Amino acid sequence: MASLASRMRRMLALSYGQKLFALATVPLILAAASIAILVAVQSRQLANQEIATLERQLIAAKKAELKNYISIARTAFYDVYGPALPDDEAAKLKVTQILSAMIYGQDGFFFVYDYEGNNLVSPRQTELIGRNWLGLRDVNGTPVVDELLRIARFGGGYHSYDWPKPSTGETARMVAYVVGLQDWRWAIGTGIFIDDVLEGVASARAATEARVRRTFLWIGAITVGALLLVFGSGLFINIRERRLADAKLKALTQRIFDTQEEERGRVARELHDSISQILVAVRYALELAARRVRSGDARASETITGAMDGLNGAIQEVRRISRDLRPGVLDDLGLGPALQTLTDDFARRTGIETEFETVVFRNRLDKDAKIALYRIAQEALTNIERHSGATRVTLEAFGHKSGATLRIRDNGCGMAEGSDNHNPGLGLRNMQERMDRLGGALRILSTSDGTLIEAKVPLSHMLPPEKPMKVPAQ
């Protein structure tokens, strides 16, 4: 069972070429899918807006038509209604006869309800006449007669509901316009069916969906073609890049070896030039003291004291070399005190005026960031001592909302041509690589008036502030 699981994992594991192809194709597929979805959404939104505008315009035209029909009807019975009294039954009968005769189209007619809900005129649906229809609702539960009477009492207006078409008996959406004859307490109106408008809107939406589907198919075809192109070019690039990667790996390995050898040579020179010479001097002093002791010379104690001073100097040199290799103060107290010690030693050793300014970090930087910034400062001071001829050096280290910054400035002669950022030496390459590993940035500006080196560490390498310890109540 374990061997089967192991074989499955090996089968599922991607090779380098497969990973490269996935890296190239997955973003392409995601981009194509995103574009397709965006195009579909935008197309639907635009089409829906256009369809809604068309629907509003068509319905507005229908409503204007209804208003004209009511105006024609009022003109037809105005000579009867105008001089009539509220209880003039003969005039009312005459008006109902006029309205009953006014039919238009296949389904157009006028209807009349009194304010109590009784139907007085319905020429195409005569079964409604003489009956009270208060509380009538359509198939969707929308009030019909009650809402028409409410609108009529307030002067007039439009109302939409579902109603059987006289020509077919099928229920369809109707828009009605009703006005009130307040003297007779009548609601007079007419309606027009808008099923043709709704069918046109549905057809437009179906056409939009068909266009969206065709767009999806085109995007899919383009994506497949692009994937084939990516596969072919990726195969070519894969072979080429692997060759380049092998060459770069060899160069990087050689650089590592060179760096190691340079560091070993530096330590060897430190041991030979300082500690070895001091220890040889101590040995000669001790031999001289031994001879003086044997001969009873009173100066033997003075010679031993000199030898002890030499041993103290050797101890200090060992501590200095150890501190250069890995300063303990960096781990114990943080970056600020370590840089202060580094600049103090630099000023004391070289005689160059050195100023260090910092904002207390309180160990807010993580281990990698502290080491990187310290080594950059160390490398920069070494370059200044060897090459710049500067008389003044300023170091600044401070934190800010986007991370931390180390800035080193000198008033030397600047970097010689060929040692700038375009063709950096080993020390500058080491600085750049340290910043690259941290995701930071290194900026070097060099003129004949001096050099500025600025290293920025991102906020991801800043530790959260320590919570203050709670003091128990006494």
Report the run of H or E that residue 193 belongs to, with start and end.
Answer: strand 186-193
For residues 400 and 303, give the distance between their C-alpha atoms in angstroms, rounded to a whole number: 56
Residue 363: its pLDDT value, please? 58
Most confident region among 4-13, 146-155, 296-305 by mean pLDDT: 146-155
Rounded (10°) angle between helices 426-438 and 195-270: 140
Residue 14 vs residues 9, 28, 157: alpha-carbon distances, Å: 10, 19, 71
CB neighbours of residue 151 within 10 Å: 20
Burial of residue 171 (number of CB atoms within 10 Å: 0-12, 13-18, 19+): middle
Q: Is 272 helix (H, G, I), strand (E, B) or coil?
A: helix
Residue 419: its pLDDT value, please? 45
Residue 66: its pLDDT value, please? 86
Dihedral sign computed on CA atoms, order 113, 118, 121, 122? positive
* pLDDT, the chain, mean: 79
- Please, what is the Cα angle at 456 between 453 and 457, to 5 degrees? 145
Residue 188: its pLDDT value, please? 93
Residue 418: its pLDDT value, please? 45
What's the mean pLDDT in 63-70? 87
Q: Is CATH 3.30.450.20 the right assignment for the domain spanning 84-193?
A: yes
Residue 286: its pLDDT value, please? 78
More confident residue, 220 or 73: 73
Residue 420: its pLDDT value, please? 42
Write out pLDDT tens, residues 427-438: 777 888 888 888
CB neighbours of residue 170 within 10 Å: 9
Q: Using the predicted structure, report yes or no on whether residue 472 has a pLDDT greater than 60.
A: no
Write out pLDDT tens, residues 92-144: 999 999 999 888 888 889 999 999 999 999 998 889 999 999 999 999 999 99
Residue 120: its pLDDT value, please? 93
Rg (CA), the chain: 48
More confident residue, 439 or 248: 439
More confident residue, 359 or 155: 155
Residue 117: its pLDDT value, please? 92
CATH T-level topology, domain 327-461: Heat Shock Protein 90 (3.30.565)
Most confident region among 186-195, 229-238, 279-288 by mean pLDDT: 186-195
CB neighbours of residue 274 within 10 Å: 17
Q: What percent of the chain has pLDDT over 90?
A: 14
Write out pLDDT tens, residues 288-329: 778 777 777 777 777 778 777 777 777 777 766 666 666 666
pTM of the model: 0.41
What's the mean pLDDT in 251-257? 72
What's the mean pLDDT in 236-257? 76
For residues 309 and 123, give the distance between their C-alpha atoms in angstroms, rounded to a whole number: 130
Q: Using the predicted structure, report yes or no on whether residue 147 has a pLDDT greater than 90.
A: yes
pLDDT confidence of 150, banded at 50, 70, 90?
very high
Q: Using the predicted structure, report yes or no on whether residue 364 has a pLDDT greater than 80.
A: no
Domain boundaries, the chain: 84-193, 327-461
